[in-house]
């Protein structure tokens, strides 16, 4: 498989992928969710940079629609009131937690001066769609209601995340617009999933296998997350399919060149722009889907952290 990898690939990621392929571990789609979570945690631990110090890091629990939601609040050394980022981790709605995205959240908080509220939403298949959406929206609501005690400027609350977390950020922005919920200053999405109804894009074809996130693993995630296939047509599962994207907050969309999700994420950015939303989009050349979580082997992850931080500071 390694010899078939695209010439577009960044050399550091090519070496990392070749080493991963040589281990001969079973693919995600052959694991149970529990096995997948253990594998993801192990991979992230080995591939993440050292966590950077932040003035205060606190684990708390906030009210959720069903049970309390664990969140981790990162407060940097910055003047109050500061921006706030409600952050949703990736992992296909099945994997990952506060620990897997600790390095990214610390880096963004330090570079932006924003408080980052990282949300440990309920995972599938134990809790299927729309449980994650409900938890993430509840976290936005809580952040807005508690902005003063968080030292956050209520007019500068952002949502963001990577992959499935980017999907949840887009969906929370839609839901808040639809339900006249808390005002959102911007949405930062790193290679978001935007269409669970169809995997029919050129990037899905070109990068179907061998680039960490595969078509088969996306089918595995989708099957665990959705209650039934028809859920994939709902805008709160597939924001690209929302009939109207007007009136949404400004968006930052980061995509990876060698990622099956590239085309749907870029299509979402284009649709937002057509709907009159201010959009900044960067395609990271030579990058693969989880590069944002590979800061220990891929220095360009820090460019992405900085770009998210700059987006939060812009207001």
Tell me the torsion sign for CA atoms 47, 135, 305, 53. negative
Known active-site residue 289: yes
- Largest alpha-carbon pair distance within the chain? 54
163 is catalytic: yes
54-93 in b/e form (b: 16+ CB < 10 A) is: beebeeeebebeeeebbbbbbbbebeebbbbbbbbbbbbb
Token digits of residue 231: 């859920």
Nearest Cα neighbor of 152 from 45, 78, 227, 222 is 78
Contact status, residue 131 vs residue 54, Cβ threshold 8 Å: no
DSSP state at residue 207: T
Nearest to 290 by CA among 96, 3, 29, 64: 96
Cα 8–chain centre separation:
24
**Active-site position among 109, 118, 163, 238:** 163
Q: Scanning the structure block, which residue is given the tokens 């949703």?
A: 88
DSSP 8-state symbol, 271: H
Contacts of 182 (CB under 8 A, 6+ apart): 140, 141, 143, 144, 154, 157, 176
- CA proximity to 251, closest of 178, 299, 297, 307: 307
By C-alpha distance, which of 243, 125, 136, 140 is closest to 183? 140
Phi, psi of 225 (to 5 degrees): -80, -45
Supply the angle between the helices 102-112 and 300-313 in degrees, to the nearest 10. 50
Out of 89, 224, 234, 289, the active site residue is 289
Catalytic residue among 153, 162, 231, 259: 259
- Is 102 an active-site residue? no
Active site residues: 163, 259, 289
């Amino acid at each position: 498989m390694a010899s078939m990898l695209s010439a577009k690939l960044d050399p550091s990621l090519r070496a990392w992928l070749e080493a991963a392929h040589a281990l001969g571990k079973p693919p995600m789609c052959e694991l149970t969710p529990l096995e997948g979570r253990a594998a993801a945690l192990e991979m992230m631990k080995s591939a993440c940079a050292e966590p950077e110090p932040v003035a205060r890091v606190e684990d708390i629990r906030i009210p959720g629609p069903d049970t309390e939601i664990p969140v981790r609040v990162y407060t940097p050394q910055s003047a109050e009131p500061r921006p706030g980022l409600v952050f949703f981790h990736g992992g296909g709605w099945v994997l990952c937690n506060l620990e897997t995205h600790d390095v990214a959240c610390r880096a963004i908080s330090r570079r932006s001066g924003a408080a980052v509220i990282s949300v440990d939403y309920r995972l599938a298949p134990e809790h299927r769609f729309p449980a994650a959406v409900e938890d993430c929206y509840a976290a936005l609501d809580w952040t807005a209601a508690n902005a003063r005690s968080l030292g956050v400027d209520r007019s500068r609350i952002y949502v963001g995340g990577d992959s499935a977390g980017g999907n949840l950020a887009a969906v929370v922005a839609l839901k808040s617009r639809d339900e006249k919920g808390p005002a959102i200053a911007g949405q930062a999405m790193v290679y978001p999933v935007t269409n669970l109804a169809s995997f029919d894009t050129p990037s899905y074809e070109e990068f179907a296998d061998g680039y960490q996130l595969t078509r088969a693993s996306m089918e595995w995630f989708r099957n665990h997350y959705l209650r039934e296939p028809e859920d994939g047509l709902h805008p709160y599962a597939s924001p690209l399919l929302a009939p109207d994207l007007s009136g949404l907050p400004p968006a930052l969309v980061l995509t990876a060149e060698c990622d099956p999700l590239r085309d749907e994420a870029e299509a979402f950015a284009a649709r937002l722009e057509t709907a009159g939303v201010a959009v900044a989009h960067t395609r990271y050349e030579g990058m693969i889907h989880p590069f944002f979580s590979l800061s220990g082997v891929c220095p360009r992850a820090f460019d992405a952290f900085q770009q998210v931080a700059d987006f939060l500071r812009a207001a």
